[in-house]
Each structure stands twice: as C-alpha cells, then as structure tokens.
Amino acid sequence: MIRFLDAGESHGKALIAILDGLPSNFIVDIDYINDELKRRQTGYGRGERMKIEEDKIEILSGLRGRKTTGNPITMMIHNKDYEKWKNIIDREPEDKEKISIPRPGHGDLVGYFKYGTGDIRDSIERTSARETAIRTAVGALCKSILKEIGIDIRSKVNSIGNSYEEIVDLFDDSIYEKINNSSVRCYDEEIEKSFMKKIDICKEEGETIGGSVYISVKGVPIGVGSYSQWDRKLDAILSYGIMSLQGVKAIEFGNGLDLSLRGSSFNDEILYKDGRISRDTNNCGGIEAGVSNGEKIDIKVFIKPIPSIKKDIRTIDLKTREEKTTRYERSDVSAVVPASIILENIVAFYILKELLSKFPNDEFNDFKKAVKDYRDSVYIK
C-alpha cells in the first residue's frame, strides 16, 4: 500500500511530502515531475504568486542515484515568497496583528474556532491552494509509474462559467496537442476566446469564476477496486481524493448526470470485438459496481469560483462581532485551468494505490510483470 503525508504553509520555508510504499528499482525522472509542476503554474487567469515561484522538486530520501530503493521518499519544494513573509511567519504575532475578520468561502471561520489559535493567519497558511504544488509532485511520480505499465491520464477544461466545450477523445494526439497548447486547455479556438473573455470580465469586475474539468484515464484493466466493502469501491476512492482538492464541489462519472437517459440507453451493452470484451458507449465512466471494467475512466469535476474577490461582501469581526466587509488577499481569477493538471496527478496517486493493492510487489519490474500477466489472462483472443 502506498500512502503519503504532506506538510508546509503557503508562505513558510517549504512544502514537504513523505511518500511511502513505492516499489524499488523504478527510475525516477525528476524533469518529468518538474514539468508537471510547471504545467500546474501556467494557464489563463493565474495570479501574481505564479510570477514569484518557480517550483522545482528536491528529493531528500528514498533514491539511490535515480532509482527508488523501497524506502520512504521525501520531497521538498522551497517557497521563494518565504523571504518576504518570514518576519510574519516565524514569530508569535502581537494581539493587534492577529487577523479576526474571516473571508466567506475560505477556512478562516471554521479554522478560527476549531484550532483556537486566535489568529486566522494560521488557517490561511494551511488551507491555501499552495499545498497543491507538493501533491502535484507526489502524483507526478505516481503518474510516471503508471505510464510505464500502460496507463495514461489526460485532462481538459470542460467549461468556464456557463460556457461549455464538447467532450472529445483526449487520446487523439492531434486534439490533445491543441489542448496542451491552449492557455485555457481547450481545443476549439472560438470556445477558447469565450473562456478567456469570461475570465477577463471577471478580472475587470474584481470577481472570480469557476467551471469544470474533464479527466480520462486509459489503460486501467478490468478488476481494479472492489464491491466487497463500501470503502473499497474505486469510484468512491477516486471521489475521496478528488473532493480533497480545494474548490471542488461535485463529481460526475461518465454521463451519470444526464437525466435524459433511461435505463435501456444508459446501460453500456457488452460486446466482443477484436479479441476483447468492449463497449460501444461508456455512460458509466469505466466503473461498474465500484470496479473498473476495462473501458476509459471518465470523470467530470466541478469547481466553484475562488472565494477571494475584490468586491466587498459582508462578514464580521470575530473579536468584536461588529459587521465588516471582507478582506482581500491576492488570488487567481480562475483556478479551473491549474485544477485540470492537479487533478490528473491526484487521480494518478489513487489509481496506483489500488493497482499496488491488487498486485502487491516490493520491486517495480515484478509489479510491471504482474500487471502484464493479468492483462494477458483477461484479454485472451
């Protein structure tokens, strides 16, 4: 079983993760992990913080040369912005400096009462989406392992506000190249202009905007996950990870929210083509009864507008209970574009975790062989 913990504050010295349970003898590509971190930082609607940070991963343990040893892997990303904030972060604040005006939509109010430090700054530092940088690094390592065993994870922006783009096959390389070259990660030029215009309008008005992301996973064999217990179902496990991302409010697998479909049209008929079991449709999104069925795992994720807005909205001072207007701290206009990259890597961690549960191995080549042998036994012509 693989697992990880991460730590660090938004403006602290660094973000750190310890990833445990990876098999030995996998050759780690540091450049690939850094490329994923760079993908996370780019995109239309990003804020000033991304101009400051140039995220690079440093691996402190768990490798010898470039190979995993089977020992826990420690990852670190240094925060460049720490130098500007260390006088605030590294000392006890005076009472007059403590923040007591919570911003609606953030963790400010709940953190203030849950942990009782008397300063909302402590909640701000940990609830910040800055934490997703280290989670992206963890997921990128997992995604590189999945690629070696024939599993690919791709994504696109599905909507910004109420402007939608049609779902396409992300594994058509010509289409996916257009998506990766788009600053809003879509393939249609007119839709791209529409997405950018909505973001521009929100920026001018001091607003933010949400949207949705489409993720597709190709190559997961039949039989990953389980219906034997409620907490082993693959769609439940993926939902758990996806919902942990800041701003995510809803998830759809396949066409599960299409209310126009009836049972006869929603069910994906089982066929036998070209020596394998297959489907002509994928309304269930590649998972039945909590178990992968060999088709692509298709997920749509819906992301709320970022709550940090320049417009005044009502709140209170928690010390005096007087009515106030909300504070503003720097923010992106939209988090949908970077969320698509972060979600690819979150999904990668949970897919790899379930595969290692099904094919437990301490050594990578044994793991790879076990997956291949299983595929061969399932897809016999």
- Dist. CA 132–CA 145, nearest whole Å: 20
* Residue 328 and residue 309 in contact, taking contact as beta carbons nearer than 8 Å: yes
* CB contact set of 162 (below 8 Å; sequence gap of 6+): none
Was 311 annotated as part of a binding site? Answer: no
Was 155 annotated as part of a binding site? Answer: no
Was 64 annotated as part of a binding site? Answer: no
Strand-pairing partners, residue 271, are 278
State the DSSP H helix or E strand holding residue 98, giving kind and residue range, or none if neither: none
Was 308 annotated as part of a binding site? Answer: yes
Was 289 annotated as part of a binding site? Answer: yes
Was 306 annotated as part of a binding site? Answer: yes
* Residue 362 and residue 168 in contact, taking contact as beta carbons nearer than 8 Å: no
CA 152 and chain centroid, separation: 15
Was 104 annotated as part of a binding site? Answer: no
Strand-pairing partners, residue 253, are 299
Was 246 annotated as part of a binding site? Answer: yes
In this structure, what are the phi and psi dihedrals at residue 140, rounded to the nearest 5 degrees? -65, -40
At position 165, the amino acid (one-letter code) is E
Was 229 annotated as part of a binding site? Answer: no
Was 128 annotated as part of a binding site? Answer: yes
State the DSSP H helix or E strand holding residue 365, giving kind and residue range, or none if neither: helix 364-378
- Dist. CA 171–CA 192, nearest whole Å: 20
- Angle of helix 336-358 relative to helix 234-243, nearest 10 degrees? 140
Was 127 annotated as part of a binding site? Answer: yes
* Residue 62 and residue 71 in contact, taking contact as beta carbons nearer than 8 Å: yes
Q: Which residues sit in the known binding site?
A: 40, 46, 126-128, 246-247, 289, 304-308, 330
Q: Which residues sit in the known binding site for NADP(+)?
A: 40, 46
Q: Which residues sit in the known binding site for FMN?
A: 126-128, 246-247, 289, 304-308, 330
